Structure formats: C-alpha cells, structure tokens
Amino acid sequence: MVRTARALVWLLFLVVPLTSLALAGGASAAGSRCGERVLSDWADNGRIDGEYPLRCYQEAMAKMPADLRDYTNAGDVIQRALTRAVTSSGERGLGTQVAAGTTPNLGGGSTTALPLPLLVLIGVSAAVLTAGLLGHLARRRRISSD
C-alpha cells in the first residue's frame, strides 16, 4: 500500500505541473497567433480590415520585423487601427477613455486569465498538499495495523 501511495505522489508531482504548463502554453500560443493575424490582414491589401482585440494590435507591433517597420507603412496602419479600436471601445462603454497623446494601457489579454506563475504555484501547491495527505493516510494505516 505504501508503494502505491508513493507512486501516486510521484505521478501527481509530474502530472499536475506539466498539465498546468501545457494549458498555459496553449493559451499563450493562441495569443501569439493574434498578432500574426493582424499582420496578415495588413499584408493582403495594405489595410487593416478586420476588428481584433486591443492586445492583438500591440502584439503585431511588437512582433513586426524591423525591415517591415522601416520600409513599409505597416506600423502606421496598425497604430491607426489600434487608435480606432480604442476610440470605438470607449464610445461603446467597453473600454476606458484615453487622453489625447497618450498610449492606452493594454496589458495583454482578458482580466479573467490567470498568469502562468500563479498556475504553476497552484499546481505545485496541489501536489504538495496531496502528497502530505497521502503520507498522513499511510502513517495512520501503518499505526492502526501495528
């Protein structure tokens, strides 16, 4: 019984953190494609025709290659689309108004998403608590069988 408990503890130590990392990695991979979609939208006709979440415009600006930024109008077009998106979200009451001449604070993603370090901490904490519980149960069984 003790071997089974130890095997279960090791399994939890491996599975919980790896699962947390895999889920967080999938979320960040989906977020990285967002900026690429904005760049693709610009590349097809030199305009941004679609509407994207505000973080997508910032990701596109951050991931834009230097030669694309220096030799094309992509940066200007994406910046104008970002300004238009911020203004329209403010008019609908979905965002905050931005003072003229300032850059909006668009810290990435939704407000309900948990940051990766917090997910890892939750996973490790769950594994440690489970290991402690299994150790306690194994000790109780050992004492009661003696």
Q: Are 94 and 40 in contact (CB under 8 A)?
A: no
Report pLDDT for 7. 63
Do residues 42 and 145 touch, judged by C-beta distance below 8 A? no
Q: H-helix or E-strand containing 86?
A: helix 74-91
For the chain, what percent of residues have pLDDT higher than 90? Answer: 34
Looking at residue 119, what is its pLDDT?
Answer: 87
pLDDT of residue 50: 87
Instruction: Please tell me the predicted confidence (pLDDT) of residue 90.
Output: 66
3-state secondary structure of 64: coil
- pTM metric for this prediction: 0.43
| pLDDT single digits (tens) 95-115 | 444 444 445 555 444 456 778
Q: 117 or 19: which carries more pLDDT confidence?
A: 117
Largest distance between two CA atoms of the chain: 80
Q: Supply the pLDDT for residue 95.
A: 43
